[in-house]
Amino acid sequence: MNYRTSSSLALAGLTAMTAPILVQAKIYVGIEQAQQILFPNKALTKSPLIITNDLQEKMRSASSIRHPFGGERIWKTADGGWFIVDEVVGKHEMITYAVGLNNKGVIQGIEILEYVESYGYEVAEAQWRKQFVGKSFADSIKLNQDIQNIGGATLSCKHLTDGVKRISVLYELALKHEQPKAK
């Protein structure tokens, strides 16, 4: 029996098991680019919101997202539209995305800003994201009901879907009655 060969194989196997898995963040669009995509030729004014514990809990209950919503990355258009940046966990890492809502709280679109996971990136594809357009708080916004899943990206799909639901709840409970600024 050749112990040298088997110990070399064992060492190679151990090295492969302990080698770090490299994940590289992919930035799809920046905040300013996403604002122009969702609100072309419109000026946006930063409108941060203090998120109370009560509002945070209502958003959590409606969406099942445990990561707290910060409230500092919210912008408003002169005609009452909203641009909101949020983050949810994909499988292990954060996904940063933006939601555009019109002045009635209807989703105009979502943009993936940054995706760090090594798989599941298909959620950034326009075909999947356009399923949210036209939905509002009144819609269920549930994966495998009105939003289709992507095989191999289930957790990213679920968490993004729940995150968009959370944004629709935020609109309904806190932003809906904010008046547009007079011109």
Residues 103 and 179: their CA atoms lie apart, in Å, by: 10
In this prediction, residue 183 has a pLDDT band, given cuts at 50, 70 and 90, of: very low
Domain layout of the chain by residue ranges: 24-175
* Greatest distance between any 2 Cα atoms in the chain: 87
The better pLDDT of the pair 68, 9 is held by: 68
Residues 115 and 12: their CA atoms lie apart, in Å, by: 32
Residue 96, beta-bridge partner list: 87, 114
- What's the pLDDT score for residue 9? 46
Residue showing tokens 């409108």: 47
In this prediction, residue 177 has a pLDDT band, given cuts at 50, 70 and 90, of: confident
State the pTM of this model: 0.84
Work out the number of other CB atoms within 10 angstroms of the CB of residue 142.
12
